[in-house]
Structure 1
Amino acid sequence: MAETVLDYEAEAAHYDRTRGGVPRAEAAARAVLSLVPAGTRTLLDLACGTGLVTERLARPGLGVYGADAAHAMLRVAAERVPGRTVRADARRLPLPDASVDAVSAVWLLHLAPFAPEIVAEAARVLRPGGVLVATVDKDAAHDVGSDIDEVLRPLRSAAPASDRADLVTAHAAAHGLDPLSSAHFTGHGQGATPRDTARKLRAGYFASWFSGDPATTETLAAALDALPDQDRRRPDPRYRLASFVRRG
């Protein structure tokens, strides 16, 4: 679901525990690697966070690096991929043009109103034939077919999604990146409960969908409160990754 921008300095201490932990990270890493061509020697993981996915991308012959803008996140990541992390804004990477073979952006573009700039910067640092792998349509993967989805669908469908697949594809094309392939993976442990969703709604997590209007917030929260099985998790989301290749 779409969220307001979190304080990732504060989130670092419990980020992994509340985001599906190792099972989700392993599923994400496998999916990313399935879209990385054989012979890829360097991969930059943008917004790497605590490095839980970054660590699992490492393979013999593949040098994996992580970049993130949050100090606290990078402190954790540096323990997992020592010597291979850098503090950097994804829009201004401290790398030369055409310097890496692959760039991954897992759970990043949906958070960024400046997604076109991130795609442009990824294209800049990719070598010809290199690939960008990014999650797209993240919000659409949550609560599919569930009663929570029935409550929140009007907001979700009206909200602008910066990682919408057609928009990302257009940004990519504008910077010399052509569609290549796609893959899916399960967000283990990410299935929502009505009680937790109502709590997040009241805390302002989804305010970007409707400007945080108090009346709308309470109307939706009350509808979530009325759902059965308040603490039963609904199905885990199934995320989509899209890959794009840099023109030669």
Structure 2
Amino acid sequence: MLDYDREADAYDSSRGGEPRAEAAAAAVLGLVPDRPGRLLDVACGTGIVTRRLAAARPGLRVTGADLSPAMARRAAARLPGAVLRADCRRLPCADAVLDAVTSIWLLHLLTDPADVRAVVAECARVLRPGGVYVTTVDKAAAHDVGSDIDAVLAPRPRRPARDAADAVTAHAAGQGLVPVGQASFRGLGQGRSPRDTVADLRRGWFTMLPPGDPRTEELAARLARLPDQDRRRPDPVFRLRAYRKPAPGA
């Protein structure tokens, strides 16, 4: 996993910046009921999406939470007084106090299925009856856009997708949450170019291919032979799922 304290300063610029954040926030808010309440953005990172959630819904009291000190500091600069450091597996919230919880680009980072279950369980615990949990799913698959880069990378080893939509839905059901919607948004500015993909390979962004591994260099060589080395291929399309905590007797 990346060192998010070290990545914090360059995180936004390397991942689509404000255009991607705007698209993400709009899609999330399409799944959150438009009424006053409290929303917690779990693993909020730099707060680039969290800030937009707060600005778009003045009736929502939006708080961000992140475990990384550097990420939390950047988020706090965007949302003064509304960011806390917290482990998403043990949220510092009482039961049933929030109207919405979001986790954007979080579950795919968790390698242990028990951690995914713990996060979903915590998000369910802190929701009021009628509250909604919104999360990204199938993060890795979003980047497979049918390009020539994808064709080169197809043989690479992959770890199981802990954020697979069916698995997340099963975890949610285990906590009494029911599916209530889904959406998608484009990761604007995140399309891969061959040259950038080679750099990502060599810095270890493809988690099953460590830098210096012969397989890494073989793929890098094949990518280097593709045409249009600096042309970005299509942007990824990210998927969201929403789950509601039923009211008693519903």
Q: TM-score range, shorter-chain basis?
A: over 0.9
Whole-angstrom CA distance in 1 between matches of 2:217 and 2:149: 15
Aligned twin of 1:149: 150
Q: How many residues matched?
A: 242
Looking at structure 2, the residues matched to 188 and 204 of structure 1 have their Cα atoms a distance apart, in angstroms, of 23
Take 1:10 and 1:34, find their aligned partners in 2: how far apart are those partners? 33
Structure 1 segments unaligned to the other structure (5+ residues):
none
2:81 aligns to what? 83
Q: Give the C-alpha shift of residue 153 in structure 1.
A: 2.4
- TM-score, normalisation: structure 1: 0.93
C-alpha RMSD of the superposition: 1.5
Does the residue aligned with 2:156 lie in a helix, a strand or coil? helix
Deviations 1:39-81 (A, max 9, x none): 2511100111111100000112111100000111111111111
Contact kept? 1:143, 1:235, Cα under 8 Å: no
1:138-171: CA deviation from partner (whole Å, max 9, x where unpaired): 1111141101111122336x53111110110111
Q: CA distance change for structure 1 residues 170 and 154 in 2, over 3 Å: closer, same or farther? A: farther
Q: CA–CA distance in 1 between the matches of 2:161 and 2:210?
A: 15
Between the two proteins, what is the percent identity of the paired residues?
Answer: 60
Distance of aligned partners of 1:40 and 1:140 in 2 relative to their CA distance in 1, 3 Å threshold: farther
SS at match of 1:86: strand
Structure 2 counterpart of 1:130:
131
The aligned runs of 1:171-186 (5 Å cut-off) are 171-186=171-186
Residue 30 of structure 2, aligned match among 24, 27, 34: 34
1:14 equivalent in structure 2: 10
The whole-number CA distance in structure 2 between the counterparts of 1:17 and 1:68 is 19
Q: SS state of the match for residue 12, structure 1?
A: helix
In structure 1, the residue matched to 2:100 is 102
The residue number in structure 2 matching 1:244 is 243
Q: Is 2:145–2:235's contact at 8 Å kept on the other side of the alignment?
A: no
Q: Report if aligned partners of 2:142, 2:236 keep a CA contact under 8 Å in 1.
A: yes
* 1:196, distance to aligned residue in structure 2 (A): 1.1
* Residue identity matched to 2:156: L
Q: Is this contact kept in 2: 1:143–1:236, CA < 8 A?
A: no
